[in-house]
Structures are given as structure tokens and as C-alpha cells.
Amino acid sequence: MGERAQQIVDAALEILESDGREAMSMRGIAERVGIRAPSLYKHFPDKAAVEVALMTVGFEAAADVLEAAEAQDPTVVSIALAHRRFALDRPHLYRLTTNQPLPREALPEGLEARAAGPITRVVGGDPDLARAAWAFAHGMIMLELDGRFPPGADLDGAWRAGCDAFAAQVAGRARASGRGRPEV
């Protein structure tokens, strides 16, 4: 990626994170870089391509956060809460990264797997359980970001209930397969 292209992505990211996706117009990005909107098209084919670059940023940031949580405390709760904290910290970036089809061939290879790694490992490698746990966390986050929970709802409690449900499944399978603690 050329230097100008990097400046463009940086400018787009700043606007996105401070003012949201709707505020991120080609004219606004260009102004922040110090050029005019049509010149952006010398560096990116269209706005979607800029957004794909931002998705890469979002994916990498998420992977960093989840890997750090796993290293510090490899439990379902720990990783789930890291996920939540990341999304609440950078809601616009989380939305952009998340709420659209994955352009897999335009993303750096292995990035998706890297971000998914901590979740998959913490549920013991079962892909079904991993996807279900991922969906739970993503659903909680989107409902919270979208302001869909009733005012005053105990979201910490809901996160706890969901994490308990998945942690119990993980423990159950470990017990059944002979590894893990025999009782609790």
C-alpha cells in the first residue's frame, strides 16, 4: 500500500471512529488528507475498497485483544468480556468490520483464522460450539450497541448466564472425554 493510500485509510479510520460510518464520506476523507475527493480514486477503486482496508484494521485489532485475553486467562468468560470491551471501545470500527459480508479474498490470509483462534481453543476445538459461542457474544454486542435491551437491563448478568451455559458445555465434554477435572 502506497504512502498516500495509508494516509487515506488513516483519515477514514479517524472519521469513522469519531463520527461514525455515515459521517465517513469520500469528500470528508479527502479533505482530511488535504486533497479533493476524485483524487482518492487514484488510490482506491471505490469506497468499498477503503472500507475493506478498514475491516483489516478492525480484524487485526480484534485478534490482538482476544489473543491478549487468552494469554492472560484462557477461559470463556475472559475472552467473551475482552470481546465485549473491544466492541464497546471501538463501536464504529466493530460494526464496520462485522456487519457486512466478508470479502475473504481481499483480506490478508490467515487473519480470519487468527481472530477466531482464541474462541475455538477455549471451547476445546469443537467448531459447532465455537460458532455458537461466537454468535452469543456477537449478538450480545450488537444488541447492546443498537440499544435494544430495555433500559436498566442487567447486561452483566446476561453475559454471565451465557458464558456459564457455554462453559458448562465445555466442562461436560472434557469430563466425558476423560480429560479435565473429574467433578466440581
Partner DNA sequence: CTGGACAGCTAACGCCGTTAGCCCTAGAGT
Partner DNA sequence: ACTCTAGGGCTAACGGCGTTAGCTGTCCAG
Stretch binding DNA (CB under 7 A), from 31-39, 70-78, 127-135, 167-175: 31-39
Stretch binding DNA (CB under 7 A), from 30-38, 59-67, 84-92, 166-174: 30-38
Q: How far is the CB of 92 from DNA (least distance, A)?
A: 14
Complex with DNA: residue 22 or 183, whichever CB lies closer? 22
Distance CA 21, CA 44 (A): 18
* Residue 48 binding target from its own copies, DNA, none, CB below 5 to 8 Å by type: DNA
Q: How far is the CB of 4 from DNA (least distance, A)?
A: 5
What is the contact surface with its own copies in residues (CB under 8 A)?
A: 98-102, 112, 126-129, 131-140, 142-143, 146-150, 153-155, 157-162, 164-166, 168-169, 172
Distance CA 162, CA 137 (A): 8
Q: How far is the CB of 90 from its own copies (least distance, A)?
A: 18
* 47: contact with DNA by CB under 7 A: yes
To the nearest 10 degrees (0 to 180), the angle between helices 91-98 and 47-72 is 110
Lookup result for grid cell 433500559: 151
* 30: contact with DNA by CB under 7 A: yes
State the CB neighbour count (10 A cutoff) for residue 126. 14
* CB burial of residue 3 (10 Å; 0-12, 13-18, 19+): exposed
List the grid coordinates of 77.
468468560
Distance CA 123, CA 138 (A): 16
Query: Pick from 152, 116, 153, 121: which is nearest to 137 by CA?
Result: 116
Residues making contact with DNA (CB under 7 A):
2, 4, 24-28, 30, 34-39, 41-43, 46-48
